Amino acid sequence: MTKQEQKNNLTAFMSKLHSTKDEIIVKFQKDLIKLLTSKGDDYSNSDRLSNFKEVAAMLHSDPRLVCLQMIAVKISRLSNLLNTSKEPNNESVDDTIDDLNGYALLLKLIDLELKKEDVNGTI
């Protein structure tokens, strides 16, 4: 195989790999939206961030810290899952990773909302 053929094969492989990664990312984003929408219907009212705000008010805390605590719980859960060979009964590694990504997005939304309110002088 010539250098040019090797280069062409590698380029084709990398292009296919890049395309596959893009497809995975797009699917992941769609799945995350679906997950957050369905869980939001179960866990909150019309304000998807209400649970974090309510718990923060109860604890005289910040909704971002409440969300961060949920992220910490998921990280602990993931660590436990990855450090055992036992199959989980309920929440898989994939489920936990999806939840972590959901909480990270919710944390971003809470932060953006608080910054907007701070700019408008309502905090």
pLDDT of residue 44: 77
Q: Give the phi and the psi of residue 122 in degrees, each rounded to 5.
A: -100, 0
Please give the residue range of the domain that contains residue 25. Answer: 1-43
Q: Are residues 38 and 90 in the same domain?
A: no
Mean pLDDT, residues 81-93: 90
Q: Are residues 56 and 102 in the same domain?
A: yes
Q: Are residues 27 and 73 in the same domain?
A: no
Q: Are residues 33 and 69 in the same domain?
A: no
Q: Are residues 62 and 104 in the same domain?
A: yes
Q: Are residues 49 and 99 in the same domain?
A: yes
Q: Are residues 70 and 15 in the same domain?
A: no
In the chain, the number of structural domains is: 2
Return the number of other C-beta atoms located less than 10 Å from residue 34's C-beta: 10
Tokens of 93: 């590694």
Mean pLDDT, residues 3-30: 78
pLDDT of residue 123: 47
Residue type, 17: L
Mean pLDDT, residues 67-74: 97
Predicted TM-score (pTM) of the model is 0.75
